[in-house]
Amino acid sequence: MTKLRFFALLLALAPAVGLAAGGAKLEHSGTDLGDRASLQRGAGLFMNYCAGCHSLSMQRYSRLGEDLGLSQEQVERFLIRGNAKYGEPINTGITAGDGEAWFGKAAPDLSLVARAKLGGPDWVYSYLKGFYVDESRPLGWNNTVFPGASMPHVLWELQGIQRPVYDVDAEGQAHLVRLELVKPGRLSPAEYDRVARDISAFLQYVAEPAALQRESVGVWVILFLALFTLLAWLLKAEYWRDVH
Ligand code: HEC
């Protein structure tokens, strides 16, 4: 019973302290679905750096255009790679078989990843910031929130190269405590954070496109309720004037 309670408490606390499955702390991404420019940048970054391996098969280019306020021409010019059509879903050029042959694992479809992972966009954000060099891995990269991931750090030229810093405990066990930037990338750490945030926001939107409408409908509902409250209050004042 006490054990059960303990686990219930742990479960309740896990999201609060941001525990990922691997035990690494997640960083707060600060994504904002109301920030259309951020979503547009995220879409562009995704098409440039991620779509070569990952598909978003539950999302069509046309829907992307409508939701992000881009014309068909802009989508075709800036987002579509290869000869995909505007009405088609976002598919990657490589097959699952190629992915397995090249990386030991097929790159999964990312349509729902920002909802599937505990922590959602914070997981994606921490993942994109969590790559470090590890010569024991086949591609030379490892990741703090996804230990043993078979994805290379595709944004290393932007972020630079991070090395792990270990702390040895009383039992002689080494624990990774933080990452250290040993070779700066093209971007400053703050600029790279924004890149990671924009991609995370974009994947958050893709995982639930209706959230955009819900947020904008929400504003009108609140405005309506505020107006209605005012009307009801004026009406009450009017009625009570006769009573007094
Ligand atoms: C060179 C191919 C390649 C590119 C480019 C690439 N990835 Fe990956 N990605 C992979 C592979 C392979 C995996 C599977 C890793 C595993 O399961 O070990 C993966 C896994 C992931 C996962 C975890 C998915 C899951 O369900 O566990 C996320 C999130 C992800 N990638 C995001 C991205 C983002 C964002 C970009 C662009 C910045 C990107 N990837 C670019 C190959 C790639």
Q: What is the CATH number of the domain that holds 160?
A: 1.10.760.10
CA of residue 106 to ligand 1 center, whole Å:
9
- In-domain check, residue 225: no
Detail the DSSP E strand segments found in the chain. Answer: 56-60, 89-90, 131-133, 141-143, 160-168, 174-184
Write down the pLDDT at residue 17.
44
Residue nearest to ligand 1 atom 41, measured at CA: 50
Q: What is the DSSP letter of 136?
A: T
Write down the pLDDT at residue 11.
54
**Could you identify the residue written with the tokens 């024991």?**
136
What is the rounded CA–CA span in Å between residue 125 and residue 28? 8
> Considering its fold, how many domains does the chain have in total?
1
Whether pTM exceeds 0.75: yes
- In-domain check, residue 2: no
- In-domain check, residue 14: no
Counting atoms of ligand 1 from 1, which one is nearest the CA of 150?
A: 18
Strand-pairing partners, residue 174, are 168
- In-domain check, residue 242: no
127 lines ligand 1 (CB under 6 A): yes
- In-domain check, residue 213: no
- In-domain check, residue 8: no
Instruction: List the chain residues with pLDDT less than 70.
Output: 1-23
**Could you identify the residue written with the tokens 């591609």?**
139
What is the rounded CA–CA span in Å between residue 75 and residue 72? 5
CA of residue 107 to ligand 1 center, whole Å:
6
The 8 Å CB, 24+ separation contacts for 162-165 are: 162/131, 162/132, 162/133, 163/132, 163/133, 164/132, 164/134
Counting atoms of ligand 1 from 1, which one is nearest the CA of 103?
A: 12
Write down the pLDDT at residue 9.
57
149 lines ligand 1 (CB under 6 A): yes
Write down the pLDDT at residue 188.
98
CA of residue 54 to ligand 1 center, whole Å:
7
Whole domain around residue 200: which residue ranges?
21-208
| Residues in Cβ contact with 149 at an 8 Å cutoff, skipping those fewer than 6 apart | 127, 141, 142, 143
- In-domain check, residue 133: yes
